[in-house]
């Protein structure tokens, strides 16, 4: 390691979040708090996320009453939760892109379209998984 790389590494720490140094229970507590903040922000600001949470609130309990084994039920629930996870990531991409610039740009459109495509595929995945599990 040269002196230059050590300086670069040391200087790059200045750019890091001040919360990166937290360890142990404090780090876990902070992470949990940030996660709840993110869920609340998505629920408050993202119509699609609210709609998907509503559908998940119906489908997840329904999965418990379906004629499937434990693994099948887990896979059915995981497919529903995957939609929420992908929607959160898509919303994060959209927020970051919008933070950079609100003007129309080919790369911004591409990023948002790819995020939307990921949500679309996760939505298609739900009925496919449920049918495969239930029709076995």
Residues 101 and 126 in one domain: yes
With a pLDDT cut of 90, the percent of the chain lying above it is: 81
Q: Are residues 82 and 23 in the same domain?
A: no
Q: Are residues 123 and 112 in the same domain?
A: yes
Is pTM, for the whole model, over 0.85? Answer: no
Would residue 87 show up in a list of annotated catalytic residues for this protein? Answer: yes
Q: Which of 45, 60, 79 is the last residue of a domain?
A: 45
Closest CA to 46 of 99, 87, 103, 104: 87
Block residue for tokens 């950079």: 100
User: Is 39 in the same domain as 92?
Assistant: no
Are both 50 and 87 inside the same structural domain? Answer: yes
Residue 42 burial class via C-beta count within 10 angstroms: exposed 0-12, middle 13-18, buried 19 and up = buried
Question: Among residues 52, 87, 94, 103, which one is catalytic?
Answer: 87
Residue 90 sits in the same domain as residue 51 = yes
pLDDT in tens, 83-101: 999 999 999 999 999 999 9
pLDDT digits (tens, 9 = 90+) for 42-90: 999 999 999 999 999 999 999 999 999 999 999 999 999 999 999 999 9
76 and 11 belong to one structural domain: no
Residues 65 and 40 occupy one common structural domain: no
CA gap 117, 86 in Å, rounded: 10
* 121 and 55 within one domain: yes
Check whether residue 39 and residue 67 sit in a common domain.
no
- Indicate the number of domains in the chain: 2
Residue numbers of the domain that contains 5: 1-45
Q: What is the CATH number of the domain that holds 130?
A: 1.10.287.3610
Kindly state whether residues 19 and 63 are assigned to the same domain: no
The pLDDT value given to residue 129: 98
* Distance from C-alpha of 96 to C-alpha of 90, rounded to nearest angstrom: 10
Q: Band of the pLDDT at 23, cuts 50, 70, 90?
A: confident
């Amino acid at each position: 390691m040269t002196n230059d790389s050590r300086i670069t590494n040391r200087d790059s720490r200045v750019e890091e979040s001040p919360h990166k140094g937290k360890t142990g229970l404090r780090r876990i507590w902070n992470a949990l708090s940030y996660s709840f903040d993110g869920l609340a922000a998505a629920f408050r600001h993202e119509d699609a996320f609210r709609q998907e949470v509503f559908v998940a609130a119906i489908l997840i309990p329904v999965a418990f009453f379906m004629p499937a084994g434990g693994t099948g039920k887990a896979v059915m629930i995981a497919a529903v939760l995957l939609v929420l996870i992908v929607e959160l990531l898509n919303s994060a991409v959209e927020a970051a892109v919008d933070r950079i610039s609100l003007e129309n740009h080919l790369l911004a459109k591409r990023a948002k379209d790819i995020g939307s495509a990921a949500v679309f595929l996760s939505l298609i995945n739900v009925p496919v998984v449920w049918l495969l599990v239930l029709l076995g």
